[in-house]
A and B are shown apart, each in its own frame.
Chain A
């Protein structure tokens, strides 16, 4: 009995000891840095804004004329509410009449001043300063960026002496309307935003890039998100207006007095609208919310979770990120995650895969006549559903469209060019998201832009307005099918212009036109190759006057940023980009074959002997 008790006691002690050890281990686990754990998404922290702000100061008393002019130029670069400080530098009448919102002129550098020059005669008092610079772009009152061919800019600032608080002070009494900013100040104060509207014919979203103020708008006192929402409510820009429509009922505006909109903790945004929005049906309301969703998607550093619309006191509808994807821009036929395609040295269409160094690997060739060498292709385009391909063969003479998923007949060419030289025959084809194939016939005698409806022989010649005798070298249709990028040549100069596709009528009476061409890269002397890189962005290969070949991204409105220049590559003849940033850029270089640019890296050669790398589209 005694023994038994002792044993039992020992057992209890052992259990107690084991418990203590377990407890100690658990505590030790708590006290050490974790080296394993569940995978969790990282919540984006609000990025630190290191942007510089300029605080305008009023003109000091007894300031010289030069100080007044300097101070005024400086005050224009600030976020001062209603430019009140800038107006203090102006003479009384001019302060009232000056409209900073009318136009913003962007110079390559901050304006240089020259002067002062004395008035020609004594009875004309005052001094005149000249603002010098190179203008590169303007922003109009509708916030549309318009790139300009770099040209000399010179405007006069006239100063007079005016009585201010009982003392004679220099003030500006004649000046150009709008703001004059250097490029760095412009980038500091403005930011691009893609607003989205629905394509009239198809109903998917089309981007419409505009510029809004980086911070609080000095004139409307709205923060960037509110500015963007307001821009969407105001409707599409003039250039895009004929092809798109806004789902917002006419007269829909933000609720009066709305100046700030903020995402809440769950990344949801509630937009208060005026009573005009109540007319919208729930379906239309969701479309409205989707417009705002995609507009704000790129504006915030955090992921947009939900957009809710409210009118008066009642909630209209709300759209979450998943629901909005149904309206995603140009995503009627979304690109799959397939590799890009290219042409091997024998003119066969193949998948571009990294392991195929030499090119022409049998496994990579596509099935069908385009992959088996029936015809030697010179350029190719893959439909957005990746079932068919359009190839230009026989030195640019003929265009074939056939399946690349099964072995089918090549068929007869859709069109044959009569050009004398290869460079005078068919351009590379392109598919729009409706399944139509576009190609330009470069025959000097018979230049035309052709669209083959659904890849069939039914063709339509598109009328290109204001071509002015320039020849279409290349054609690229945007994923939304509303915009078309054209490379136009006249003499030695090749420019990139973007036009709007306008279709009217149907069947035999169908009329096709490319309207309102506008130059995207006026600063470029020559643009060699172009490709859409997303719904509102292009990647171009070109050369500025007196410069070397460069590759860069250009927004669909022609604006660029410093971050859009790509690493250099020699002798690029073709370039292709996917619809999202996750797809690597591929290019054809005369000395390195087909190369690709992995994100964050440098160009890598993939296939030494190959040509015409393309993504679907």
Chain B
């Protein structure tokens, strides 16, 4: 039961896509096809990276280290550069200010001395007699010669319309003096300073503009004309120092980040390598190689982990061996007991038959006992046969004798065989979908046993109502669904019906003398074929059992031609009604949608993509006790259909919970549509769904 599951594994992208060739499985659109294509194109190269990212803890740790150290380095770099910059600028500013102050006082003294001693303009005709241009030029020259390269001097006329030509030293362009500084200098009396770009006008060598500190003051020249004197201190040295610091920090930062990344990589590798080894060993252990052990060196934490792991593996191995032994013993015991019981039972049987034959000679009470005896011996025998069969399965001794058979014949035989019972129960067994041969490679005996079991069960629990056997074939799979309208299954029972000796109502007496092993054996048969046997049911709404088999042996199943939840289930009917109401409200034309015949089944409402049916994969469930998780198709498939109604939320929610079919796809085959092949039907509907 536990090993070698044939259940479809959910969430394998790409598996369902191949099915599109069979035009069976519908692919619901999500957004426009172009957008989807773009997203897919974008995602494709990223997918391996994303997978690596998800799976590789080393990569994540290294990336995190890189990002964090980069952040730290950047922060540190900005702080340090800011400090250095402030320090440099402050020092330069102090030196520049004292230099400029000295220059201004020299200029003022010169002007005062010349005007007091020279006595220019004494004749009173015009005060601008002397060659002031020469005076200013000489002044600028003298001041600038104090520090060639360290600073430049500019003298401008303070008049709004300059009467005097401006003078610059060192090829400074006049536009280097910012206008707002000029305004402040002209308007104020003190010194003003600002930072600006200094441009040069030298044609010979194209000097680039430099950042500079400009200090200016308004002064009076030898003719008592106001003029503006500016000192320009280029900050190239400071800039170079700052650039040096920047370069150094950038280089150091880069090294630190890279080294930290490498260190993180190395350190993490030390931890991750044993973990990976442990993971590999654990994987091998889980596949049954119980002899695998970790290599343990040293005595650090990793070594302790390895030791503990090895100890665990050893204990597990021991326990598993014990359990296996026990299980084998038990199976052997059951088998032996069955065999051993047969011999006495044969004797008892013969004796009972003798008694039974001569029961008319007995008094009525004894005669009744003889009948009871024979009946119970019949049951005993069949129970014993079932036990033997199941123990054969458990021992893996069951062999498949597959040959192409037409399931319709099998169904017919089964129905014929069940006719007396049905008659007794007052119900009729109808067959649907038997217009065409439903051929599959299968073991006729086992298939017949399975179907008989299902049909008998259905008749038995059908409470006199009709039983419908539906056949379907599509896309490498054939299916037979047995639908009854009896008491149905309570929630959760769909998973348990396949358990051995399970009874829906323990108090209910068995009228047909079922052994309680029939469905278990059927499941084992289905699994032997590589097929599925699944159950659906709702309380009071009957149940449906679906057997899906691959058309050829050894071919994996990807879907079933018949939905597990029948279309006349309560949930489906409610949804259909809601959709019809919705459709009439929205007035959606559905000309593309084929109208079904009046067979009692309801069309899938337009605008509603095929739902992921709540299904049960019993082959994976019985006895395993595992929780059934319903997966959204979107999770497993990128181009999944648009959101659907939550499954199992319809009115009268009695449908059994179950796992989704692979890829969230569903094959709908309407076997009752007269004269219509299921494949074309499906493709038509698919087309209409996509077209929307």
Contacts and interface: CB of A to CB of B under 8 A. Distances in A.
Nearest to A70: B128
Interface in B161-200: 161-171, 174
A19 interface: no
Contact of A75 (B134, B140, B165): B165
B204 A74 contact: no
Interface string A34-58: 0000000000001111111111110
Nearest to A76: B133
Interface in B630-661: none
Contacts of B149: 48, 50
B132 interface: yes
A52 B169 contact: yes
A215 B132 CA distance: 23
B163 A71 contact: yes
B129 A48 contact: no
A433 interface: no
A568 interface: no
How many interface residues does chain B have, given as a range? 35 or more
B134 A113 contact: no
A71 B165 CA distance: 7
A449 B237 CA distance: 62
Contacts of B157: 57
Contacts of A113: 126, 128-131
Interface string B110-131: 0000000000000001101111
Contact of B137 (A54, A67, A70, A114): A54
A63 B157 CA distance: 15
Interface in A416-466: none
Contacts of B137: 52, 54, 77, 184-185, 188
Secondary structure at the B interface, as helix, strand, loop or mixed, is loop
Contacts of B148: 47-50
A110 B165 CA distance: 15
B406 to A, nearest CB: 80
A488 interface: no
B126 A115 contact: yes
Contacts of B125: 114-116
B466 interface: no
Contacts of A182: 131, 134
B77 to A, nearest CB: 21
Contact of A70 (B133, B174, B205): B133
A209 interface: no
The listed residue with most A CB atoms (<10 A of its CB), out of B157, B165, B168, is B165
B585 interface: no
B169 A112 contact: no
A46 B170 CA distance: 13
A70 B132 contact: yes
The listed residue with most B CB atoms (<10 A of its CB), out of A56, A57, A109, A223, is A57
A54 to B, nearest CB: 5
Contacts of B170: 48-51
A394 interface: no
A223 B163 contact: no
A216 interface: yes
Nearest to A113: B129
B6 interface: no
A611 interface: no
A325 B586 CA distance: 104
The listed residue with most A CB atoms (<10 A of its CB), out of B126, B162, B171, is B126
A54 B138 CA distance: 11
A367 interface: no
Interface string A188-206: 1000000000000000000
A67 B133 CA distance: 12
Interface string A60-97: 11011011001101110110000001000000000000
Interface in B416-471: none
Contacts of A408: none
A423 B165 CA distance: 57
B541 to A, nearest CB: 82
B166 A188 contact: no
Interface string A157-190: 0000000000000000000000000101100100
Contacts of A78: 165
A260 interface: yes
A74 B129 contact: no
Contacts of B205: 46
A232 to B, nearest CB: 19
B204 A55 contact: no
Interface in B134-169: 134-135, 137-138, 140-141, 144-145, 148-149, 152-153, 157, 159, 161-169
B588 interface: no
Nearest to B174: A55
The listed residue with most A CB atoms (<10 A of its CB), out of B130, B170, B204, is B204
B34 interface: no
Interface string B80-92: 0000000000000
Contacts of B162: 57, 60
A316 to B, nearest CB: 25
17 contacts: A48-B148, A50-B169, A53-B169, A54-B133, A54-B167, A57-B157, A57-B166, A60-B162, A70-B128, A77-B137, A110-B130, A110-B133, A112-B129, A113-B131, A114-B125, A184-B137, A260-B204
Interface of B: 125-126, 128-135, 137-138, 140-141, 144-145, 148-149, 152-153, 157, 159, 161-171, 174, 201-205
- Cβ-closest 9 pairs across A and B: A110-B131, A110-B134, A50-B148, A48-B149, A74-B133, A60-B161, A66-B126, A50-B144, A52-B140
Given A70-B164, A113-B130, 13 more contacts: A52-B141, A52-B168, A53-B167, A54-B165, A60-B161, A60-B163, A70-B132, A74-B164, A77-B165, A110-B130, A116-B125, A182-B134, A260-B203
Interface of A: 46-57, 60-61, 63-64, 66-67, 70-71, 73-75, 77-78, 85, 109-116, 182, 184-185, 188, 215-216, 223-224, 260, 262
